[in-house]
Structure 1
Amino acid sequence: MQAVIDILSWIFIIGGSFFAIVGAVGLVRFPDFWSRLHAVSVTDSAGVILLIVGMALQAGLTLVTVKLLLILAFLFITGPTSTHAVANAALVSGLKPRSSVDRDDADAATQDDKAGPT
């Protein structure tokens, strides 16, 4: 039974690490603030949940598990709330999300740049 719990906990820990790494790559690779914010917020929530569940399985039924679950509840509530607050502050300060028209214009400019001088 302990082997099954160890395997499950490592699956959760590796899955959480994967989401954390994907979020970090998304932070570096995405082009604008809004897509970066989305990538980090979603992967951060998923990564933290999986990591804490994996650690709770490793700890067993102890006081450490209770503390981990309290941390999980706190992060589950504050993560999306803080992301919303940052997005709202950016929107109020004048940073507008790109519309599909803006993306089409940027794509057309990129295609013109790749075509070279005519």
Structure 2
Amino acid sequence: MIWEILVSVLLVMAGIFGFVGSFGLLRLPDTMTRLHAPTKATTLGVGGVLIASMVYMYVFMDYFSFHELMITLFLFLTAPITANLIAKAHLHRAERPENLPPSGTGRGWATFDETADPSRRTER
């Protein structure tokens, strides 16, 4: 009975986080605030379903699923990294070309056209 309650609680928690993450993705106003919702939906929503499945299989079927454990660990490791990369891409995309450093520094995306007027920049 305790294991069934645990599996049920994990599934309900995963459903709530999935719903809140989907709602936040649709309703939050801009990219940076919208980024937080699907990350939580992925880690806690899908992770909750996978952990509930692992508990169910181990307790009721006498089988431990390493595949689900690996998927859960992969999600917990990659979701924050993906969110960080999306946030950095958004910050670079929102930057105006005249605020970026010259191409000789190795930073930024703007470059000078050597043959044209140095005040004109082109983007790669």
Q: Report the TM-score when normalising by structure 2.
A: 0.68
CA-to-partner distance for each residue in 1:59-105, whole Å, 9 max, x for gaps? 11524x2111011111111111111111111111116xxxxxxxxxx
Higher RCO, 1 or 2 (CA under 8 Å, sep at least 6)?
A: 1
Match in the other structure for 1:39: 37
Q: State how far apart, in whole Å, the 2-side matches of 1:52 and 1:92 are.
A: 35
1:7 and 2:5 are equivalent in the alignment: yes
Residue 51 of structure 1 aligns to which amino acid in structure 2? Answer: V
User: Larger C-alpha radius of gyration, 1 or 2?
Assistant: 2
| Separation of aligned partners in 2, 1:83 and 1:75 | 12
* Secondary structure at 1:34 match in 2: helix
Which has the larger strand fraction?
A: 2
3-state SS of 2:94 partner: coil
Say whether the 8 Å CA contact 1:12–1:51 is kept in structure 2.
yes
Superposed CA offset, 1:21-55 (max 9, x none): 00101111111111111122123212122121111
Query: Would you say the 8 A contact 1:19–1:43 is kept in 2?
Result: yes
1:30 matched residue in structure 2: 28
Aligned pairs for 1:1-118 within 5 A = 3-60=1-58, 61-63=62-64, 65-94=65-94
Secondary structure of the residue aligned to 1:93 is: helix
What are the ranges of 5 or more consecutive residues in structure 2 without an aligned counterpart?
96-124
Which range moved further: 17-26 or 35-44?
Answer: 35-44
Kindly report structure 1 stretches of 4+ aligned residues shifted beyond 2 Å.
Answer: none
Question: Unaligned stretches of 5+ in structure 1?
Answer: 96-118
CA RMSD in angstroms comes to 1.8
- By percentage of residues, which structure has more helix? 1
- Relative to the length of structure 1, the TM-score reads 0.71
CA contact (8 A) 1:27 1:36 kept: yes
Q: Percent identity?
A: 28
Structure 1 Cα separation of the partners of residues 69 and 42 of structure 2: 17
Aligned residues: 93
AA in 2 matched with 1:77: L
